[in-house]
Amino acid sequence: MQVEIQQVSQTTLLRLEGDMRLWGHPELEEKLLDAFRGGLNDEVREIVLNMCGLTSVDTMGIAALVRVLIESTRRNLILKVILPPGTAGESLRRVRIFEPWPEYREESAALRASAAGMPGRV
């Protein structure tokens, strides 16, 4: 699993790619959570969680994503998600953990909505 953080204005981009099967790999879960927390500061108002590069995810990977959701909620951050295609995306859609948050097809659409101050499904 690869984790990348980038800050654009008041938005933190959290990009996840590769294999997110974390069962038996607690160090990878900590890598994700450390990167997420490291990308937050007092200026951040929203998170774009870009998972379009994920190829697979297991229950431990989903649990790690739930921890990101909980932390985002505790910090009153706006969350926008980009779900992956294929089996990984289908798994995440079936558990419905991202249903309450706006879903975008691409990062640029989520950032444009940020600039316009308009959340929503695009």
Phi, psi of 31 (to 5 degrees): -60, -45
Angle between helices 86-95 and 59-74 (to 10 degrees): 60
Residue 122 is predicted with a pLDDT of 44
Q: Please state, in angstroms and rounded to a whole number, the distance separating the CA atoms of residues 79 and 69.
A: 8
Domain 2-116: which CATH number of 3.20.20.70, 1.10.260.30, 3.30.750.24, 3.30.2320.30: 3.30.750.24
Residue 121 is predicted with a pLDDT of 43
User: Per-residue pLDDT tens for 63-122?
Assistant: 999 999 999 999 899 999 999 999 999 999 999 999 999 999 999 999 888 655 555 444
